[in-house]
């Protein structure tokens, strides 16, 4: 009785049981990133029906904002209900028919996932491989296209597992000259560094909400250009996934039809709308510059205490800083202390980089001076606790020096 009463009072007061009360964290890992309070507040707006005129109008606005962020005029641009992996599957299962030849660049975990999804969609996949942390040259891509004659080439722009950025300029020409489509994973790069879909000739791309867009995870922006749409139209076999079949999904998003397909995650779409509004209010060039700026401050701080980057300078991602764990420092103990004592989350290395790298995210809302400075101070604390030798305060001082002198 007493418990019931306590629960009633708790519900009346909107008190949350301790087990469901999230701790305060500073998200400096590979995603999710920090979320703007306005985006979190959008999640709590009243839920309406998925065919409510209000929601349909919001979907129109979302599509238009996504086109601006993707820097495209592509008609078929929408937010798939699901995380970034759903975006990957949407692109691949819609564009691949069983037996199609596909080239995928595998230089990290997410290229590997692309290969797997393409294989599951029935493709004959040639995977070109590079060690984790390296990128593909135009020559390597050209060679693979010559030897495999693919219908589709898939590349990851920002390999979150390694911190490397794949150069994409010039790739579309090679791919199109061979009559193929270029599909790009921009889960981590969209809204954090340039990925102009139309200017770079990308035929289809997918992203996620929880990286540089700074929205919670749950939706996957995708965009399909005219060549990709033509491939969709000329399919003779059904898309392997009913849920991700763009023929069906786009009937729901198209202003002219609006046929029920699935119940859209209404409140997630509110959140994405608000997050995109904030991205566009800041402006893409300013946002890209902000990511580069705080990356430079972080780099100055880390290098001042002897921490080196894992990726060659020319190919580093500004929003995902992969650094080498110094000799003698215990990875798990370091990250554990950072989380326990400072509430800061960073990412562990993945695949062959497990135990060798840390992945420090500066994505979207996370890319701020206050976070960089707090992080460096906390890193110094956690390194000192392990007996790692460095000049105390040097990391924070170097970042401060950058912030006071750099423009």
Contacts with ligand PLP by CB under 6 A lie at 30-31, 83-85, 88, 110, 156, 158, 160, 185, 187-188, 208, 217
Closest contact distance (angstroms) between CB of 234 and ligand PLP is 27
Sign of dihedral through CA atoms 298, 300, 305, 308? Answer: positive
CA distance 205 to 114: 12
The closest residue (CB) to ligand PLP is 84
Residue whose C-alpha is closest to residue 296's, from 379, 210, 395, 402: 402
Q: Are strands 344-345 and 26-27 parallel, antiparallel or unpaired?
A: parallel
304 vs 317, beta carbon nearer ligand PLP: 317
Closest contact distance (angstroms) between CB of 45 and ligand PLP is 23
183 neighbors 172 (Cβ within 8 angstroms): no
Residue whose C-alpha is closest to residue 197's, from 217, 181, 177, 179: 181
101 neighbors 118 (Cβ within 8 angstroms): no
Closest contact distance (angstroms) between CB of 208 and ligand PLP is 4
188 vs 250, beta carbon nearer ligand PLP: 188
CA distance 180 to 151: 4
Closest contact distance (angstroms) between CB of 351 and ligand PLP is 13
CA distance 192 to 260: 33
The DSSP call for residue 122 is: T
Within 8 A by CB and 6+ apart from 273, the residues are: 42, 58, 61, 62, 65
Q: Residue 182 phi/psi, 5° resolution?
A: -105, 120
What is the dihedral angle through the alpha carbons of 59, 45, 187, 347, rounded to the nearest 10 degrees? Answer: 180
Closest contact distance (angstroms) between CB of 268 and ligand PLP is 13
Closest contact distance (angstroms) between CB of 360 and ligand PLP is 14
Closest contact distance (angstroms) between CB of 405 and ligand PLP is 33
Q: 256: buried, middle or exposed (CB in 10 Å: 19+, 13-18, 0-12)?
A: exposed
């Amino acid at each position: 009785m007493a418990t019931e009463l306590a629960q009633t009072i708790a519900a009346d007061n909107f008190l949350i049981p301790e087990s469901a009360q999230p701790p305060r964290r500073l998200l400096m890992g590979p995603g999710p990133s920090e979320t703007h309070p306005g985006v979190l507040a959008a999640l709590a707006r009243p839920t309406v029906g998925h065919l409510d005129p209000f929601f349909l109008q919001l979907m129109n606005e979302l599509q238009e904002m996504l086109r601006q962020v993707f820097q495209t005029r592509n008609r078929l641009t929408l937010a798939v209900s699901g995380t970034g992996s759903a975006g990957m599957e949407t692109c691949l299962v819609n564009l691949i028919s069983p037996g199609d030849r596909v080239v995928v660049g595998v230089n990290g975990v997410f290229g590997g996932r692309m290969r797997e999804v393409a294989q599951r969609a029935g493709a004959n996949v040639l995977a070109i491989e590079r060690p984790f942390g390296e990128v593909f040259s135009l020559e390597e891509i050209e060679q693979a296209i010559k030897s495999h004659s693919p219908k589709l080439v898939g590349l990851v722009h920002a390999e979150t597992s390694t911190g490397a950025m794949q150069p994409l300029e010039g790739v579309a020409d090679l791919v199109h000259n061979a009559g193929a489509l270029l599909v790009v994973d921009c889960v981590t790069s969209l809204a954090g560094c340039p990925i102009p879909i139309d200017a770079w000739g990308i035929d289809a791309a997918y992203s996620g909400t929880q990286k540089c867009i700074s929205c919670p995870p749950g939706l996957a922006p995708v965009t399909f250009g005219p060549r990709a749409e033509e491939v969709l139209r000329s399919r003779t076999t059904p898309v392997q996934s009913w849920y991700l079949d763009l023929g069906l999904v786009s009937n729901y998003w198209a202003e002219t039809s609006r046929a029920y397909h699935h119940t859209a995650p209404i409140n997630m779409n509110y959140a994405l709308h608000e997050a995109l509004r904030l991205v566009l209010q800041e402006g893409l060039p300013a946002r890209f510059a902000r990511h580069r700026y705080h990356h430079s401050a972080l780099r100055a701080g880390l290098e001042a205490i002897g921490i080196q980057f894992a990726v060659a300078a020319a190919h580093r991602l500004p929003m995902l800083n992969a650094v080498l764990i110094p000799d003698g420092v215990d990875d798990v103990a370091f990250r554990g202390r950072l989380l326990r004592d400072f509430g800061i989350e960073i990412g562990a290395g993945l695949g062959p980089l497990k135990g060798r790298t840390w992945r420090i995210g500066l994505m979207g809302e996370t890319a701020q001076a206050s976070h960089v400075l707090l992080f460096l101070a906390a890193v110094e604390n956690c390194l000192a606790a392990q007996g790692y030798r460095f000049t105390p305060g040097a990391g924070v001082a170097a970042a401060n020096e950058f912030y006071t002198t750099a423009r």
